[in-house]
Amino acid sequence: MDETLINAAVPLILEWYRVCKRDLPWRKERTFYTVLVSELMLQQTRVEAVRERYVLFLQRFPTPAALAAASEEEVLKMWEGLGYYSRARNLHKAAKVLAAQGCPSDFKGVRALPGVGDYTAGAICSIALGLPEPAVDGNVLRILSRLYADGGNIDEPATRARFSALLRAAYPPETGDFCEALMELGAIICVPNGAPMCGACPWAGLCRAHLAGEEERYPVRSEKKARRVVEATVLVLRCGDRYALEKRPAKGLLAGLWQFPFFEGEAPEVGKPVAEKRARHIFTHVEWRMHGMLVHVNAEDPRYVWATADEIKRIYAVPSAFKAFMEWIK
């Protein structure tokens, strides 16, 4: 690939980042631990969703030792609503490693932490350790394939490897700023759906896609598989001031989290609903179409855990897939 293009692009994006970067809580004080927390939280999750949660999480677990000492239930509760809960379990395990062994200081050590893949390891090395390790995710692939008007399929590992090598050779001494500048450009200027804001882009004068007026032809991607649709019934059972909860299976979607009794297809008859509501929730590979029913019952079925509204709020991590039914919990 043409290295002169990326070499010209690096100082432009660094200068732009210094002036235009968003004021985000994880860009203030930085330690290995805070970078680990922010990068795990930001995997597959929008910055706006993470902002406040990051601050609350670090207030409760300010050090690896504090996180390592917490129960898994509490860590999941602090992760509630963020989705992809295996990240919370991995972060909990990673904190135990840091508390016992200290922080790793090279790519191999970082990559070996639970929940840390190539992208996150690159980001942590660049931001926390000052190492020139590229962090290449979908945003970075998009901005580079536009910069180069590169028709390589970004869902193929070979394309990722090519761009990763390109970045590695072009890394400036400001490794953390460079890494975050690439993410930032993809997040606020060179956006994925709809027209990118080329008028505000530091690369507008170099970007081959823009110069050809073909920004939206890039990146090239594989066709997505359609999501599997699951019809389900959710029973919000109320007995006095308590509600039935069950723990999801230890493996699979939303593993080990709490939910209202959930049935694929129809639920058994338990009584006449006093309210009904439909809701859907979209996961990466599945879509749930739920029929929710609020039913008053006069005995606590021992198959379930029975909790008050306050206990549900304080203790049990209920994923946001069930948010529509939480309004019945009073």
In the set 40, 125, 147, 183, which binds ligand ADE (CB under 6 A)?
183
- Residue with smaller CB distance to ligand ADE, 122 or 261: 122
Compute the C-alpha angle 268/272/273, nearest 5°.
95
Three-state DSSP string of 122-183: HHHHHHHCCCCCCCCCHHHHHHHHHHCCCCCECCCHHHHHHHHHHHHHHCCCCHHHHHHHHH
Binding map of ligand ADE across residues 99-128, x = CB under 6 A, - = no contact: ------------------------x-----
C-alpha 119/C-alpha 98 separation (Å) is 20
User: Cβ-count burial of 313 within 10 angstroms (0-12 exposed, 13-18 middle, 19+ buried)?
Assistant: middle
* Residue 267 CB, nearest approach to ligand ADE (Å): 40
Select from 133, 150, 180, 215 the one that contacts ligand ADE (CB under 6 A): 180
Helix (H) or strand (E) holding 283: none
Of the candidate residues 8, 47, 65, 279, the single one contacting ligand ADE (CB under 6 A):
47
Beta strand 286-296 pairing with 273-282: antiparallel
CA 133, CA 124: separation in Å to the nearest integer? Answer: 9
Q: Could you tell me which stretch among 38-46, 211-219, 264-272, 303-311 binds ligand ADE (CB under 6 A)?
A: 38-46
Q: Is residue 37 a contact residue for ligand ADE (CB under 6 A)?
A: no
Question: What's the count of helices (H) and strands (E) in the chain, helices before strands?
Answer: 14, 7
234 forms part of the interface with ligand ADE (CB under 6 A): no
* 39 contacts ligand ADE (rule: CB under 6 A): yes
Does position 133 interact with ligand ADE (CB under 6 A)? The reply is no
What does the alpha-carbon distance between residue 111 and residue 176 come to, in Å, rounded to a whole number? Answer: 17
Shortest distance, position 47 Cβ to ligand ADE, whole Å: 5
Residue 177: count other Cβ atoms within 10 Å of its Cβ: 19
Of the candidate spans 34-42, 191-199, 209-217, 275-283, the one that interacts with ligand ADE by CB under 6 A turns out to be 34-42
267, 250, 254: which is closest to 301 by C-alpha?
Answer: 267
- Least Å from the CB of residue 39 to ligand ADE: 5
- In whole angstroms, the minimum distance from the beta carbon of 311 to ligand ADE comes to 34
The answer to whether 182 contacts ligand ADE (rule: CB under 6 A) is no
Which amino acid, residue 279? A
Least distance between ligand ADE and beta carbon 162 (Å): 21
Nearest residue (beta carbon) to ligand ADE: 42
* Residues identified as active-site: 39
Compute the least distance from the CB of residue 77 to ligand ADE, in Å: 23
In sequence order, what are the residues at sequence separation of 6 or more whose Cβ sits closer than 8 angstroms to the Cβ of residue 90? 40, 113, 114, 115, 116
Q: Shortest approach of ligand ADE to residue 38 CB, angstroms? A: 6
Whose Cβ is closer to ligand ADE: residue 38's or residue 159's? 38
- Tell whether residue 191 is a contact of ligand ADE (CB under 6 A): no
β-pairing, 242-247 with 262-264?
unpaired
The CA distance from 11 to 14, in Å, is 5
Q: Where does this chain touch ligand ADE (CB under 6 A) — which range of 36-44, 100-108, 140-148, 205-213?
A: 36-44
Question: Which segment (11-19, 39-47, 255-263, 319-327) binds ligand ADE by CB under 6 A?
Answer: 39-47
Contacts with ligand ADE by CB under 6 A: the residue count is 8
Q: Which residues contact ligand ADE by CB under 6 A? A: 38-39, 42, 47, 123, 180, 183, 187
